[in-house]
């Protein structure tokens, strides 16, 4: 049995702690805030509730695998359901695209409705990521990277200099498809000119596996994860901020906190490594991807009937999510803004034809700074600054013996499945007790 300390109680940290405890290790999890979940929590006010962070997830098999490998199946804990419609895209020219998930044929028909022939361009672009995903899945996301033994195909892919911006301009004759293909990365804070082509694989994942959510809010998944830690006997210390690692001659010996040192033979860092001086020097060339502006609103009265997620393209780029919980007769929306947002998000929304200002009975505003301070870092991980970023981040191994990383900053994908895959890599490296 190894004494393992996990730093960070977001999805990646909780997933790593649950897996390692199931493997027989003595696990302690440290979380700086008063509760677990990180961005996978709920914001509540006046009877309304909103997902504080993500409201959907890709690759449900990753979440299912984590629950199965740490105890009871996911289906006994959370009702994870597929969305028939991934999102609706609305463009400045007045056209719209309702994009389904989980079906090539359905996407072809939906995109063709914009203009004949566009559907073929779209599905061919998405299909081009099939082999890319299989290579990344097997050799990057599910196997610890080792440059000495990595397949040539993978190192070539990681080193390819073509940006996603350039690829999309070359692939699509219609600007609207470029916006659709890149919007997730733009909303995560990236400039597509700095994003390598392989990072656009999310369009394939949406088409192949769909988007999934939990009725009433994806934060229920965070609650189920916290319960799984209790089931597995993980010692959880909330309100305990890690200030640095304790490192001896042979490697890590513990984690230093304001309350004292927590001894460890292995440490899993599931936060931004910049926050720990022992690791900060190794990531000085990287930057975090900053969250968008967020406005949660509670509405009463007549409101438009919208899809689970509506993307309003333009500058600023706005996203409306409608899956929150509300009292009877109400609705709970979240508005996210990215770009030149020099006015109230609800005024910017009204300028795009969705004016609900008179229906607002409560609201919660969060700036990017607020969110980073609240969560102790960015759930969007490392900012893309060209293809070298993939190997500049730390994960799962680090130069400090006995220290591994998991979570958003330890992977090149954004969202729960990639954080979950990083936790699985950590469990594989540590092994059974």
The answer to whether the beta carbons of residues 86 and 210 sit under 8 Å apart is yes
Whether residue 274 lies inside any domain: the answer is yes
What does the pLDDT read at residue 385?
97
Q: Are residues 268 and 339 in the same domain?
A: no
Whether residue 115 lies inside any domain: the answer is yes
The answer to whether the beta carbons of residues 27 and 291 sit under 8 Å apart is no
What does the pLDDT read at residue 193?
98
Name the residue range of residue 301's domain. Answer: 293-373
Sequential DSSP letters for 59-112: -HHHHHHHHHHHSS-GGGT---EE-SEEEEEE-TTS-EEEEESS-HHHHHHHHH
CATH of the domain at 316: 3.30.70
Q: Are residues 143 and 279 in the same domain?
A: no
According to the 3-state scheme, what is the secondary structure of 375-424? HCCCCCCECCCCCCHHHHCCCCECCCCCEEECCHHHCCCCCHHHHHHHHH
Whether residue 62 lies inside any domain: the answer is no
The pTM assigned to this predicted structure is: 0.95
Q: Are residues 298 and 279 in the same domain?
A: no
The answer to whether the beta carbons of residues 222 and 234 sit under 8 Å apart is no
| Listed residues 205, 228, 252: the one ending a domain | 205
Residue 205: CB atoms within 10 A of its CB come to: 19
Residue 170 burial (10 A CB sphere; 0-12, 13-18, 19+): exposed
> Which pair of tokens denotes residue 346?
């609800």
Whether residue 57 lies inside any domain: the answer is no
What does the pLDDT read at residue 216?
87
> What are the residues facing 294 on neighbouring strands?
336, 366
CA-CA distance, 321 to 292, in Å (whole number)? 14
CA-CA distance, 165 to 182, in Å (whole number)? 8
The dihedral sign for the CA sequence 171, 159, 416, 32: negative
Residue in 25, 9, 11, 38 with CA at minimum distance from that of residue 429: 25
Q: Are residues 120 and 201 in the same domain?
A: yes
CA-CA distance, 187 to 126, in Å (whole number)? 19
Residue in 275, 330, 341 with CA at minimum distance from that of residue 303: 330
| Cα→Cα distances 424→14, 62, 144, 302, 311, Å | 11, 9, 10, 46, 32
Three-state SS at 365: strand
Q: Are residues 417 and 278 in the same domain?
A: yes
Whether residue 70 lies inside any domain: the answer is no
Whether residue 58 lies inside any domain: the answer is no
The answer to whether the beta carbons of residues 153 and 137 sit under 8 Å apart is no
Q: Measured at the alpha carbon of residue 189, what is the angle toward residues 185 and 190, in degrees to the nearest 5?
A: 60
Q: Are residues 31 and 167 in the same domain?
A: no
CA-CA distance, 267 to 245, in Å (whole number)? 9
Q: Are residues 183 and 317 in the same domain?
A: no
Residue in 197, 178, 195, 68 with CA at minimum distance from that of residue 136: 197
What does the pLDDT read at residue 220?
94
Q: Are residues 383 and 280 in the same domain?
A: yes
Whether residue 138 lies inside any domain: the answer is yes
Q: Count how many domains the chain has.
A: 3
Task: Tell me the average confidence (pLDDT) per consecutive run of 10 residues in the chain, 433 residues long.
Answer: 95 97 97 95 96 95 93 91 96 97 96 96 98 97 93 95 96 97 96 97 96 93 95 97 96 96 98 96 94 97 95 97 95 96 94 96 96 91 95 94 97 93 96 93
The answer to whether the beta carbons of residues 257 and 29 sit under 8 Å apart is no
Q: Are residues 201 and 117 in the same domain?
A: yes
The answer to whether the beta carbons of residues 412 and 199 sit under 8 Å apart is yes
CA-CA distance, 325 to 313, in Å (whole number)? 26
CA 53 to chain centre: 9
What does the pLDDT read at residue 1?
75
| Cα→Cα distances 169→93, 201, 206, Å | 19, 16, 21
What does the pLDDT read at residue 71?
85
The answer to whether the beta carbons of residues 415 and 279 sit under 8 Å apart is no
Whether residue 415 lies inside any domain: the answer is yes
Q: Are residues 301 and 421 in the same domain?
A: no
Sequential DSSP letters for 239-277: T--EEEEEEETTEEEEEEETTEEEE-SEEEE-S-GGGSH
| Listed residues 184, 205, 226: the one ending a domain | 205
Q: Are residues 111 and 126 in the same domain?
A: yes
| Listed residues 180, 205, 230: the one ending a domain | 205
Q: Are residues 108 and 200 in the same domain?
A: yes
What does the pLDDT read at residue 414?
85
């Amino acid at each position: 049995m190894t004494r393992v300390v996990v730093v960070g109680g977001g999805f990646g940290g909780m997933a790593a702690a649950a897996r390692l405890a199931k493997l027989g290790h003595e696990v302690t999890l440290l979380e700086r805030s008063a509760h677990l979940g990180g961005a996978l929590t709920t914001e509540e006010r006046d009877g309304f509730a909103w997902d504080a962070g993500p409201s959907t997830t890709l690759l449900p098999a990753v979440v299912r695998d984590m629950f199965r490998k740490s105890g009871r199946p996911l289906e006994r804990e959370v009702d994870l359901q597929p969305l028939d419609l991934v999102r609706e895209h609305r463009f400045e020219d007045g056209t719209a695209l309702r994009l389904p998930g989980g079906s090539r044929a359905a996407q072809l028909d939906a995109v063709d409705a914009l203009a004949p022939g566009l559907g073929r361009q779209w599905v061919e672009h998405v299909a081009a990521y099939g082999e890319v995903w299989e290579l990344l899945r097997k050799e990057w996301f599910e196997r610890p990277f080792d440059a000495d033994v990595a397949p040539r195909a993978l190192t070539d892919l990681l080193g390819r200099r073509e940006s996603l911006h350039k690829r999309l301009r070359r692939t699509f004759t219609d600007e609207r498809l470029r916006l659709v293909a890149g919007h997730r990365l733009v909303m995560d804070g990236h400039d597509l000119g700095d994003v390598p082509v392989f990072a656009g694989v999310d369009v394939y994942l949406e088409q192949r596996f769909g988007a999934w959510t939990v009725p009433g809010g994806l934060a229920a998944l965070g609650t189920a994860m916290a319960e799984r830690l209790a089931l597995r006997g993980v010692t959880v210390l909330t309100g305990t901020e890690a200030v640095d690692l304790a490192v001896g001659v042979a490697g890590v010996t513990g984690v230093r906190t304001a309350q004292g040192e927590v001894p460890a033979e292995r440490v899993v860092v599931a936060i931004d490594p910049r926050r720990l001086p022992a690791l900060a020097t190794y990531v000085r060339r990287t930057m975090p991807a900053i969250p968008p502006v967020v406005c949660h609103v509670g509405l009463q009265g007549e409101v438009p009937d919208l899809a689970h997620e509506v993307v309003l393209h333009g500058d600023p780029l706005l996203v409306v999510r409608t899956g929150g919980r509300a009292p009877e007769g109400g609705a709970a929306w979240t508005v996210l803004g990215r770009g030149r947002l020099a006015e109230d998000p609800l005024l910017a929304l009204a300028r795009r034809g969705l004016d609900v200002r008179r229906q607002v009975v409560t609201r919660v505003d969060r700036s990017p700074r607020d969110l980073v301070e609240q969560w102790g870092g960015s759930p969007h991980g490392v900012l893309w600054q060209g293809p070298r970023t993939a190997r500049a981040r730390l994960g799962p191994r680090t130069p400090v013996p006995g220290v591994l990383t998991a979570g958003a900053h330890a992977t090149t994908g954004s969202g729960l499945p990639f954080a979950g895959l990083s936790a699985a890599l950590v469990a594989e490296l540590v092994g059974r007790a």
